[in-house]
């Protein structure tokens, strides 16, 4: 988990989301270099949550720990 400042150098995240849920956006991304790799990036957005969690972690936050 992190933010834009903690992103890997050479990481290019596709603008269009593959999947949008109530808790996250799922994007495809590429890490450049000698052997480019395609990875999945999950972005949690509080504005996507359908209801307030009142301090409870979202499913994405629970899975990441």
Predicted TM-score (pTM) of this structure: 0.65
In this prediction, residue 40 carries a pLDDT of 94
CB 50 within 8 A of CB 22: yes
In this prediction, residue 62 carries a pLDDT of 72
- Distance (Å, whole) CA 42 – CA 17: 9
In the chain, % helix, strand, coil (3-state, to 5) comes to 20, 30, 50
pLDDT (tens place) for every residue of the chain, 65 residues total: 566 666 678 889 999 999 998 888 999 999 988 888 999 998 876 655 555 556 677 776 777 65
- Distance (Å, whole) CA 41 – CA 43: 6
């Amino acid at each position: 988990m992190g933010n834009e400042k903690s992103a890997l150098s050479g990481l290019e995240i596709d603008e269009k989301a593959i999947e949008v849920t109530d808790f996250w956006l799922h994007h495809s991304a590429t890490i450049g270099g000698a052997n480019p790799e395609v990875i999945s990036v999950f972005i949690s957005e509080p504005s996507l949550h359908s209801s307030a969690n009142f301090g409870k972690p979202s499913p994405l936050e629970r899975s990441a720990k």
